[in-house]
Amino acid sequence: MGEEWFHVKKRIKSISPVQLIVLSFAVVILTGTLLLMLPAVSRSGEHTSLIDALFTSTSATCVTGLVVFDTWTHWNIWGQIVIIALIQVGGLGVITFTTGFTLLVHRKLALHNIQLATENTAGDTIHIARLIKMILAFTAGCETLGTCILMLRFVPQFGVRGVWVALFTAISAFCNAGFDVLGFLMKDGNLIPYVEDPLVCLTVGALIVVGGLGFIVVSDIYHSRIVRELHGEKPERLNFHSDMVLLVTAFLIVSGATLFLLCEYDNTLVHNTFGGKLNASLFQSISARTAGFASVNIARERDITKVITIILMFIGASPAGTGGGIKTTTFLVLAATVFSVMKGESETVVMKHRIERTTVYRALTICFAALLVILITTGVILVANPEVNGVDALFEATSGFGTVGLSAGVTQGLCSLSKFFVSMTMFVGRVGPVSLGLALTRHQ
């Protein structure tokens, strides 16, 4: 018995950090599936089918936001607690969450746990313990602040229920999940009732951006700028990775908002004031890359707007952030490579930094793998659900891979086969960038 246990421990220790991260996400998803199948967590008191529970659990753990049921209408408070717990664990990263808990109770970290946390946060082993403490503290701070601000709107509207709505929305926004519990106000309406409300949209938008930037960037900004300015010292330059992330993020938000405003000015935004149009355009540009909150009816958008949104969803968030997609750094490397080839240059240069060929190859691999997964899922949806048009099928598949959660209104009508493939796409989208993209981040 002792010898068998020794071999089991040896096999567990032989699992690579990336493999264990993938396994940990799978375990959390399966646990969430079993919990969501229980009759005790649904409002009707009936059990939820396996495929619908799996879809919801995967969407929550992979911080996507695609839903087969309206979260408020179908799930009672216990079901909503299960979902928000899955979002929190999935958003932080399973290994980051468990390692952080270990640190909080002052237990010594094993080397293997440090390696796992390094893979999951895109950090380095020397400062990983300090980084994880900062991640947990920063997450709690942002979500608490977001909750307090949103309570200013929701508590006067909904009374005590507004506290839960504010907390759920803040956690979902920071983790870039896109789930909401506003179904009692407007079923499947998400944040559409607040399209003219800058307090709600700007607060949720800010939480999305901060969560999607990535913990490495937040740490760099804090230590290089904020801490030094508080001590009266001259701020240091941000590192190359942070510069790339901030540049691409700003470009995508501004360009996305501008294009959305132009395309939807006399369509989904036709009845809004000009301020409301600007508010909605900015919010949708932010939400489209990672979060999945909607302040307009996505199904009514023009096809060109959906295509623009597909591009934003495909790019996604930043490495070590809470969102998905191929990542902003991968997009910048690929774009710089294309420009270098067009100019006849033999090397890729980004912001006066030479990008090594291995990094370019990894970026190409990530992009190709993402396209392959999205196209396969799109094909399955078109075959299994012929009533769905091509643009909407591609929109759904890209939303799943990018762990965004926006939908053109087809999710609830998908058959079991399509739901399964979209679930797997969400899973690949969440762990794929972790297993492939972090090599790019480390190299940078």
Q: Is 140 a member of any domain?
A: yes
On the question of pLDDT at 388 being above 60, the answer is yes
What tokens appear for 411 in the block? 């999710």
Contact 314, 326 (CB under 8 A): yes
CA-CA distance, 356 to 348, in Å (whole number)? 7
For 45-114, what is the HEC assignment?
A: CCCCCHHHHHHHHHHHHCCCCCCCCCHHHHECHHHHHHHHHHHHHHHHCHHHHHHHHHHHCCCCCCHHHH
Q: What is the pLDDT of residue 235?
A: 76
Buried b (16+ CB within 10 A) or exposed e, 167-179: bbbbbbbbbbbbb
Pick the closest to residue 45 from 79, 70, 71 (CA basis): 79
Task: Determine the pLDDT at residue 347.
Answer: 83
Provide the pLDDT confidence category of residue 88 given band limits of 50, 70 and 90. very high
Residues in contact with 126: Cβ distance below 8 Å, sequence separation at least 6, in sequence order? none
pLDDT band at residue 240 using 50, 70 and 90 as cut-offs: confident
Q: Closest Cα partner for 118 from 130, 103, 128, 107?
A: 128
Helix (H) or strand (E) holding 350: strand 348-350
User: For residues 396 and 326, what is the distance between their CA atoms, to the nearest angstrom?
Assistant: 16
Cβ(319)–Cβ(441) below 8 Å = yes
- What's the rounded Cα separation, in Å, for the pair 321 and 174? 10
User: What's the pLDDT tens digit per position in 157-168?
Assistant: 999 999 999 999
Which single residue is written with the structure tokens 């998908």? 414
Give the model's pLDDT for residue 21.
73
Residue with tokens 């970026």: 363
Helices 416-432 and 357-384: angle between axes, nearest 10 degrees: 170
For residue 2, being part of any structural domain is answered with no
Q: How far apart are CA 314 and CA 26, in angstroms?
A: 23
Q: For residue 292, what pLDDT is reported?
A: 84
**C-alpha to C-alpha distance for 156 and 252, rounded to whole angstroms:** 35
Task: For residues 270 and 109, give the distance between their C-alpha atoms in angstroms, rounded to a whole number.
Answer: 56
Q: Which of 20-29, 190-199, 332-341, 403-412 has the lowest mean pLDDT?
A: 20-29
Q: Which residue has the tokens 């769905």?
A: 388
Mean pLDDT of all residues in 268-275: 90
The CA-based angle 227-230-231, given to 5 degrees, is 90
Instruction: Give me the domain span that covers residue 360.
Output: 13-443
In the predicted model, is pLDDT for residue 142 greater than 60?
Answer: yes
**Distance (Å, rounded) from C-alpha 189 to C-alpha 260?**
19
What is the C-alpha to C-alpha distance for residues 128 and 203, in angstroms, rounded to an integer? 30
Q: Which of 172, 94, 127, 97 is nearest to 403 (CA)?
A: 172
Separation of CA 218 from chain center: 16
Please indicate, yes or no, if residue 1 is contained in any of the structural domains: no
pLDDT at 360: 87
Question: Is position 4 within any domain?
Answer: no
Tokens 């216990």 appear where? 78
| pLDDT tier at 129, thresholds 50, 70, 90 | low
Mean pLDDT (whole number) for 11-29: 73
pLDDT at res. 389: 93
Angle between helices 303-315 and 240-264 (to 10 degrees): 170
Please report whether residue 110 resides in a domain. yes
* Residue labelled with tokens 């087809």: 410
Q: Do residues 69 and 438 touch, judged by C-beta distance below 8 A?
A: no
One-letter identity of residue 277: K
One-letter amino acid at 319 equals: P
- Residue 223 domain-assigned (yes or no): yes
What is the value of pTM for the model shown?
0.86
Overall number of domains in the chain: 1
The contacts of residue 19 (CB under 8 Å, 6+ apart) are: none
pLDDT at residue 188 in the model: 67
Residue 190 lies in a domain: yes
Q: Is residue 166 part of a domain?
A: yes
pLDDT confidence tier of residue 102, bands split at 50, 70 and 90: very low
